Chain A
C-alpha cells in the first residue's frame, strides 16, 4: 500500500497536491521569478511546516531554440551562439564546439592554439567558479564574499576582452585554430591578475570557509550518495564532491592537458560543503594550470594552414587571386564537413559539456546537440532537497549552479 502511494505520487503529483489541500502540507511556488533562482526555473514545492515533502522542477523558461537554430546555420555560424550557452564560462563552450567540429574534420589545432585554448579555458573555469560560489554565498547571506569574487571575475574578464574582443560574446575559436593570438605582454598581465585572484581567494577563504555559521548552512545539506549521483548522470564538481575523481580533462586526455600537472580535488560526503570546497580547490588548480601552460607556451601559428577550414591570411586575400577565391568559397559555401556523426566531451566549468554533431556532408549541420551538465543536476533537485528545510534550497541550488542558457538551450 505504502509503495503504491509513493508510485502514484511520482506520476500524478499535481493532482495529489490538490488532494492534500486540506492537510498540513502547503504548496509554494519557488520561481520562476525568485531571488534564489539564478536562471529562470520553477520549483513547485510542497512543504510541511518548514520541511520539503516534494518538489517538481519545471524548466524551459529560457528556451531559445539553439538546436533548431543550428540546423539552419552554417557550421561557423553556430560558434557565436555557443558562447551564449554558458554565460559564466563562454570560452569553454566555444572551445568544446570547435573541438567537436575539428574532430569531425579529423584535424587538430596547432600546439600554440591548443595551449592558448587551455589558458583561456582555465580562465573561464575560474570565472565560472567565482560566479557560482559567489552567488551561492550571497544567498546564504555573505554579500561581501560575492562582491569580492565579482571583483576578481572582472579582472579576468578584462583579460578575456583583451584577447577575444568581447567579455561574454567571445566567439574566439575557429575550426583548426583560434581567431586571434594572445596580444603582446599578455602573459605578464595575466600573471599580475592571477596574483590578485590569489589574494581574493585567500581573503574570501578567511571570510567564509571556517565560519561556523556558513559551515552549518552547507554541511550535511543536500547530500546525494555516490550511486545516486552516478545514476543521475552527474559530472563535474557535483560528482567529484561525492568522491569520484571523474574529470574529462584526465579521463579523455583531450587537448594538451596531458602535458600539464594538476590534481583533481574530490570530496568525501557529497554535501554542499564538499561542493564548495571542491570548487575552491579547483580554482587553485586552474591557476596552477594557467601558470604551467604560460611557461610551456610554444611559438608557432595559431591556426592550421588548410584553406578548407581556415580563412586565408588577409594579405593573401588582398593581394592574391587564389587567396581571394579561397576566401570567397569558404565564406559563401561554408565549411564542407564530411558526413558522419561524432560526440566530443569536454570539461566545462560545471561538468561534462558535450557536443554531438551530425553531418550529411552538405556543408550544413543536420543536428547539433549539446549535453549540458546542469540538466542532470536540476533533474536531481527533488531527490536532493526532499527532507530538507525550505532554507536549504538556497545553498543546494547555489551549489548546483544552474545555467539557464545551456539547460534550456
Chain B
C-alpha cells in the first residue's frame, strides 16, 4: 500500500507530470468553464443592460421542464454545434478550411501557460511555466492567432470571408505593435519581461506600506493602451470590423458551421478570459493581495486560497467590463481602427515610454 502511495507521490513530483496536471487543471477548471459561462453571460448580461430577460427557454422536458434560468442554454449550444451539418463550401481549400479554426483556438489558450494564479509554495508554482522571455512569449504566440483568421478567410472561397480575412490580418498585425510598445513602460518599471518578476514587483509599496506599486498606478496610460490594444487584438467589439456583422456578414468565419464555428466562438471567449487574466497579472498586482503581508501569521493554505480567489474575481470583473464595453459603444470602421492605432495610440504609447524613461532616470 505504502509503495503505491510512494509511487504516486513520485509521479506527482515529477516536473513533467506536474506540468501536464497543471495544464489540465488550469484549462479544464478555470479557462474552459469561465469561457463557456461567458457565452451565456454575454447574452444574459447584455439582456440586463437592455432591459430584457435574456435566454431562458432551454429546458429538460423529462425533469419537470427544469430551466435553471437559462443555464441549460450552454448545453443546448454545445449540442447544437455538435450535431449541426458540418458544411464545407464548394471550391474551398478543404485542408486549410478544416485546420484554420484551431489556430486561433490554440493561440488563445497558450496565453495561460505563463500566468501565475497564486504565490509559489516552496518549489511548487501555480504557473504552468515561468519562461524567461515572459511577455515576449505572449507577443509571439498571440500573433499566431492571425493565421487562423487569414487562413479561414482565404480558404472559404467567399468574397466576404476574404475581405474579413484581410481586415483581420492588417488589424492584428498592427495592434501587435501597440501591445509591445504599450508594455515597454511596464518592462522598464519592473526591470524584467519575466512574469513572476513583474508580479512580485507589484508587491512592493510606496510610502511605507501605503500604496502598492501596481501596474495601474505606475503605468496608468499603459493600462488603457494595453487594454484597448488587447481588445483590438482579439477582434472584439468595438474593433470587430473583421467580423463586421452588418457589412461583411460575419467576415472570415462566414462559411463555417457546426463545431468549427463553435471553435471560433469559443476562441473568442477564451481570448476574453486571456485578456482579463493578463490585465490582472500586469496591472492589478497579479495574485498578490495588497497589505496581506502585514498579517504575518497567516496560514499558507488560506493565503493561497485567497490569492486564487482574488485573481479569479478580478479576472471575472475584467470579463464583465469587456462585455459591458461591447454593449455600450458602437464599432469602429476598419480604416478608423487602423487610424486610431497608428495615429493616436502609437504617439501616446511612445510618449509614455519616453516619460517613463525620464522619470526613472530622474528617480535614480
Contacts and interface: CB of A to CB of B under 8 A. Distances in A.
Given A211-B329, A213-B329, A391-B333, A143 B46 contact: yes
Interface in A333-389: 389
A50 B330 contact: no
Nearest to B327: A144
Q: Which of B49, B244, B245, B246 has the most CB of A within 10 A?
A: B246
A297 B80 CA distance: 57
Contact of B333 (A35, A143, A208, A216): A216
B267 to A, nearest CB: 21
A28 B248 CA distance: 10
A141 B46 CA distance: 13
B335 interface: yes
Given A28-B160, A213-B238, A391-B241, A142 B50 contact: no
B163 A144 contact: no
Q: Chain B at the A interface: mostly helix, strand, loop or mixed?
A: loop
B331 A148 contact: no
A144 B50 contact: yes
Contact of A216 (B46, B52, B336): B336
A266 interface: no
Given A28-B163, A144-B49, A145-B330, 5 more contacts: A141-B329, A142-B329, A144-B46, A147-B52, A151-B50
Contacts of B49: 144
B159 interface: yes
Contacts of A35: 245-246, 249
Interface in A197-246: 207-208, 211, 213-214, 216-217
Interface string B34-54: 000000000000100111100
Contacts of A55: none
A144 B249 CA distance: 19
A281 interface: no
B328 interface: yes
Interface in A11-41: 26, 28, 34-36
A269 interface: no
B163 A140 contact: no
B181 interface: no
B328 A207 contact: yes
26 contacts: A28-B160, A35-B249, A36-B247, A50-B334, A138-B246, A139-B246, A140-B331, A141-B237, A141-B240, A141-B329, A141-B331, A143-B50, A143-B327, A144-B49, A144-B50, A147-B51, A147-B52, A207-B328, A216-B333, A216-B336, A217-B330, A217-B333, A217-B336, A389-B335, A391-B334, A394-B246
A137 interface: yes
A389 B331 CA distance: 15
A272 to B, nearest CB: 12
Contacts of B160: 28
B159 A28 contact: yes
Question: Secondary structure at chain A's binding surface: helix, strand, loop or mixed?
Answer: helix
Nearest to B240: A141
Nearest to A216: B336
A213 B159 contact: no
A109 interface: no
A216 B337 CA distance: 11
B332 interface: yes
A390 interface: yes
Interface in B110-151: none
Interface centre among B160, B241, B244, B247 (most CB of A within 10 A): B247
B247 A391 contact: yes
Interface in B136-181: 159-160, 163
Contacts of B249: 34-35
A131 to B, nearest CB: 16
Contact of A148 (B50, B238, B332, B336): B50
A211 B328 CA distance: 10
A26 B160 CA distance: 11
A132 interface: no
Given A36-B246, A207-B328, A392 B333 contact: yes
Nearest to A36: B246
A120 interface: no
A389 B50 contact: no
A390 B166 CA distance: 14
Contacts of A213: 238, 329-332, 336
A148 B327 CA distance: 12
A213 B328 CA distance: 11
Contacts of A50: 163, 334-335
B143 to A, nearest CB: 23
Nearest to B328: A144
A137 B50 contact: no
A156 interface: no
Contacts of A389: 333-335
A393 interface: yes
B330 A141 contact: yes
Which 8 pairs from chain A and chain B are nearest by CB?
A141-B331, A141-B330, A139-B246, A147-B50, A142-B330, A391-B333, A140-B330, A36-B246
Given A141-B238, A147-B51, A391-B244, A211 B334 contact: no
A22 B334 CA distance: 25
